[in-house]
Every structure is written in structure tokens, then in C-alpha cells.
Amino acid sequence: MKYSTTTSTLAEARTDCLIAGFSQCRRAAGQQGAASHFRNATTDFEDKSGQTLLINFGSSGRIRRMLVVGGLKGTLTESDFRKAAAAAAKALAAVKAKSALWAIHDIGVKGRDPYWKTMASIGALNDTLYSFNPYKTSEVTPPTLKAVALHADGRSRANVARAVRHGQAALAGLDWARDLGNQPPNVCNPGFLLKEARKLSRLQNVSVTSLDEKKMTELGMGAFMAVSQGSDTPGRMIIIRYNGARKADEAPVVLIGKGITFDTGGISIKPSANMHEMKWDMCGAATVMGATRAAIDAKLPVNLITIVAAAENMPSGGATRPGDIVTTSSGKTVEILNTDAEGRLVLCDAITYATRYKPKAVIDVATLTGAAIVALGNHATAVYANDEDLANALLEAGEYSGDRGWRMPLWDEYQASLKSQFADLANIGTGGAGSVTAACFLSRFAEDLSWAHLDIAGTAFPKGPQNGATGRPVGMLFRYLTEQA
Ligand code: BES
Ligand code: MN
Ligand code: ZN
């Protein structure tokens, strides 16, 4: 989709479809001499949130169609605005229009400016239009809509234009993350993720490298290797560097993604019902890649290092056994009591690797625990951090972008449950709170860092027959990075 900004008044606009509130549409209809057509078409229209009405004026008018969006009067709450935008997007997707003029951000939203409204609007539109069907040979109808102009006036123009630029970048990153997530696990393996990541190296100020298993073994990444060793498909640590900051030596933000391209559980094998969902166990990787691409496309002035810990968790004759003890690259030893708690194993070596960049912040993103779904369902990402400012920045970015998180504890009382009889720590906790104890495990490798962990097991791919990768938390991360700039 091509998004643009326009400041032409509705009296001069030409479009296949104007999307606006009732009074704006009525005025625009009057301006093209169609006041009575408008009146007749809207006699039964309820000007309420969630309602929309399509009016066709035929090909003679400058504005061929109007999508009247209900409830756009006075000052709206954020959630009412998002609802209206979603309803408008859904209705627009059903119209056979090639171009559209989106004017609903002219409406007031409490505490939010045109930048926010534009981001929220095109986010809603993008959500409605997304689909993933490279493997369908039939039943696919591509959307007719090609270009959406966002309406602005003289005052909001700079703000709207910046949001269009940022939104275009953020949504391309989001869609890429969703595409990577939705790929089948026979295609999307660690090598595939590397190949995809390498596409970024064509862009300015970007380089992509990787560590193969030999290198990781040399670096002493015994925890990563304990996961990867059971698979015939070799694991990779992928490193994307983006140098966008004004000062070249500015400390980078490091993003780390869990990239388990399929999680069988290993020897602690999972039940077969819904096991296919574990193809989405690389959504942490997909979303940090997506957020990175968004930051690059938007030319955010930040230094960013993105590390993808990519491996497949399989049972085999060479797989790790429950009870095995491994040494991590930090020097700490781990007793692997459950091979299905593999995400924390690949991540702890990635976190240790991140320390070499002397980062100002490290944020890992992982579909880490089913317990995160128990705690928060599909609505909030579980946010853990050993730094209050970092936690608050991420929570605030989540609120802003509508990609929300909720703070969780990392108390010593929980840490105690990771005690191992024979090693420095065990890879599973006891006493419930599985998302918390998993985060506690990671925190032991981040003691000298400003670090946060996002457990996205609930938000990356909602359960159900129509499920698919959401791309969350690209929105939160993009906003966080924008605010760092
Ligand atoms: N990838 C899973 C967590 C998961 C489950 C994500 C469902 C999304 C949906 C993770 O590797 C895992 O298996 N975790 C175990 C940990 C347990 C063995 C301590 C879990 O949550 O059951
Ligand atoms: Mn697992
Ligand atoms: Zn997993």
C-alpha cells in the first residue's frame, strides 16, 4: 500500500472513496452538488461508533464514493477512535476502490495529536488488509486498493507527513514479521532467517553477519548448542547492525529474538495436539527483525544491534537429555531438567554475547512460556526489566502504539526456585509462575546490563482456527526506538 499526505481541501479532492465523519461527508457531498443524494442515502444512518455507510455517487462526481464513519463527533477516547478506524478499514476493504482519501484523523482524540491519529488509522487499515497466501494456488483475491491519501491541513501537515513516513516503515516491518512468522517450519529454518536478514544488508548503514555452530561452540555457547544439537538443521546466531545515530560511537540498543523455528519440546516432547503452533516459536526473532527493518526504513537516528538466536528444538539420538548439565558462555552451568524450556537456553548465550557491545539497553523478545498466556491472555505482552526507566519506556511505548504490555515481577523469592542440586541453576522453576521464573532465569545472565524481557507467547499468535502471526510487539518496539532518537 502506498500512503501519502494531502492538504487539498475536500472541496477540490478527487478520489475513488472518501472516508470521513458524517458532517464532513455531508459538506463534501454539498460541494459536489449531491446534497439530496446524500440526504436520501443517510436517512436511516445512525451516527454511532462502529457504524459505517457506503454511498456511491457514480463516476460523474469528483468523489465517487463516500464511506461515512459513525461516531466521529466531539472529542473521542483512544479506544473509540481505534474502533471507528477499524470499522472504516473493514468497510473500505470490501469496496472495489483503487484509491482512497482518509480524512477521519481530523477528529479530536483526547491527549493525542495528528501523528498519533495517522499512525492509528493506517495501522487499522493495514491490519484489515493483511493476508498471507504464497502457498495458495486458488481462492486468492488481491485487494484492489493501492493508494491511500491521508488528509491534513496546514497546521497538521508536518505531523501527518511524518506519521505517514514512519507508519509506512513500521507497517512494512510489521508485515515482514508476520510473513516470517506464518511461513511453514519446513521453509522457515535458521538458514532461511539468515537469508531473510541478509536482505537488509542492501540498505544504508546496515551489515549482517552470523555465527555458525562451530563458532558458537568455540565461544562456549553450551546452552544454545544443547538446543540446536538435536536437529539436522544447523542453528545460527544472526547479527544485524544498523548505525543510524548521529554520533557513530553512541551506545547501541540491542534487540534479541527467540528464533526457535520449530519447538517439538525435544526429548521432553510436547503433546501432538496443536503442536503445529510451535512453528510460531520464532516470532520473537521475526518481530525484532521487523522492528529493525522499520527503524532502518524510517531512518531513525539510533544505533541498533539485533541478535537472532535461531535453532530448531528436535528429539533425536544426538539430542540433549533431561538431566544433562551444560556450561553457558557466561561460565555459569545449567542443569537442563526439561528440554522443552529451550527458549531461555538459546537466549542466555545471546544475552551474554550482547554484553560485548556495551549497550545502553538490551531487550529480548520471546514466545517463552505458556504460563504468560495463563497470566495475561492475548491482550498484553508480559514485561520484565531490571531497570525501572527501561520498563517504563516500554510500557509507555506500548500504550502509545496500542501494542500494550504489563509489568511483571522479578523478585528474589521467585529466583530461589531455580536452584539446582548439581549445577549453578536449573532451566525450570518450581511453584508456578512459569513466565516469571523463566524471566528470572534470563535475568541471571543480564546482571550487568540494563535489560528487559518481553514474553510474547500470548500476543504473538492468538489461539484459534484463524490464528496467525500478529507482528506484535513491532509497534511497541518501533515507538520505543522512535523515542530513543
Ligand atoms: N515455546 C514454548 C512456549 C509457548 C507455549 C509459546 C505455547 C506459545 C504458546 C516454550 O518453549 C515452552 O515449551 N515452554 C514450556 C516451559 C516449561 C517446560 C517450563 C511451557 O511453557 O510449558
Ligand atoms: Mn519449548
Ligand atoms: Zn519454545
For ligand 1, say whether the CB of 459 is within 6 Å of any of its atoms.
no
Report the separation in Å between the CA atom of 291 and the middle of ligand 2, taken as the mean of its atom positions. 24
Question: Could you tell me if residue 127 is left (phi over 0), alpha (psi between -120 and 50 degrees) or otherwise beta?
Answer: alpha
Distance, CA of 222 to CA of 331 (rounded, Å): 9
Distance CA 404, CA 6 (A): 31
Has residue 240 been placed in a domain? yes
Catalytic positions: 270, 344
Residue 59: band (very low, low, confident or very high) from pLDDT cuts 50, 70, 90: confident
Q: Is residue 68 part of a domain?
A: yes
Q: Residue 465: pLDDT band by 50, 70, 90 thresholds?
A: low
Q: In the predicted model, what is the mean pLDDT of residues 349-363? A: 99
In percent, how much of the chain has pLDDT > 90?
Answer: 94
Q: What is the pLDDT of residue 28?
A: 95
Q: What percent of the chain has pLDDT over 70?
A: 99
Range 434-444 average pLDDT: 98
138 and 254 in a single domain? The answer is: no
Q: Does one domain contain both 384 and 307? A: yes
Q: In this predicted structure, what is the pLDDT of residue 101? A: 97
Q: Is residue 164 part of a domain?
A: no
Show the cell assigned to 346.
538459546
pLDDT of 245 over the 70 cut: yes
In a domain, 408, yes or no: yes
pLDDT of 22 > 90? The answer is yes
C-alpha cell read off for 390: 527501561
Check if 372 has its Cβ closer than 6 Å to any atom of ligand 1: no
Residue 326 backbone dihedrals phi, psi, to 5 degrees: -125, 155
- Residue 368 Cα to ligand 1 midpoint, Å, equals 6
What is the band of 462 on the pLDDT scale with cuts at 50, 70, 90?
Answer: confident
pLDDT at 43 over 70: yes
Evaluate: CB of 264 within 6 angstroms of ligand 1.
no
- Is any ligand 1 atom within 6 A of the Cβ of residue 355? no
Domain count, the chain: 2
My answer on whether 143 and 193 are in the same domain is no
The Cβ of residue 338 has, within 10 Å, a number of other Cβ atoms equal to 14
How confident is the model over 98-127, as a mean pLDDT? Answer: 93
Q: Are residues 80 and 195 in the same domain?
A: no
Does residue 107 lie in a domain region? yes
Q: Tens digit of pLDDT for each residue in 285-338?
A: 999 999 999 999 999 999 999 999 999 999 999 999 999 999 999 999 999 999
Q: Which of 85, 117, 152 is the last residue of a domain?
A: 152
User: What is d(CA 328, CA 333) in angstroms, rounded to the nearest whole number?
Assistant: 6
Quick one: 337 and 432 in the same domain? yes
In a domain, 211, yes or no: yes
Listed residues 118, 152, 186: the one ending a domain? 152
Ligand nearest to the CA of 264: 2
pLDDT of residue 342: 99
**Cell, residue 397:** 511505548
CATH number of the CATH domain containing 388: 3.40.630.10
Q: Which domain holds residue 454?
A: 175-484
pLDDT over threshold 70, residue 105: no
List pLDDT tens digits, range 194-218: 999 999 999 999 999 999 999 999 9
Residues 132 and 187 in one domain: no
Does residue 394 lie in a domain region? yes
State the average pLDDT for the chain.
96
Residue 386 and residue 446 in contact, taking contact as beta carbons nearer than 8 Å = yes
Q: Are residues 99 and 216 in the same domain?
A: no
Q: How much is the average pLDDT of 66-85? A: 94
User: Are 321 and 354 contained in the same domain?
Assistant: yes
Rounded distance, CA 239 to CA 453, Å? Answer: 18
Q: In the predicted model, what is the mean pLDDT of residues 412-435?
A: 97
Return the ligand number nearest the Cα of 260: 3
| H helix intervals, 252-369 | 283-297, 343-354
Of 104 and 256, more confident: 256
Residues 179 and 128 in one domain: no
- Same domain? For 31 and 124 the reply is yes
Give the three-state DSSP class for 305.
strand
Radius of gyration in angstroms for the set of CA atoms belonging to the chain, rounded to a whole number: 24
* Same domain flag for 185 and 87: no
Q: Give a yes or no: residue 169 inside a domain.
A: no
Measured CA to CA, the distance from residue 262 to residue 264 in angstroms comes to: 6
Q: Which residues surround ligand 3, an ion (CB under 5 A)?
A: 260, 263, 281, 343
Q: Where are the alpha helices (DSSP H) in 137-229?
A: 157-182, 190-198, 213-218, 222-228
Mean pLDDT of 33-62: 94
pLDDT confidence of residue 184? 98
pLDDT digits (tens, 9 = 90+) for 2-20: 999 999 998 899 999 999 9
**How many Å lie between the centroid of ligand 1 and the Cα of residue 405?**
19
183 and 120 within one domain: no
Q: How far is the CA of 407 from the centre of ligand 2 (A)?
A: 23
CATH of the domain at 23: 3.40.220.10
Which pLDDT value is given to residue 450?
Answer: 99
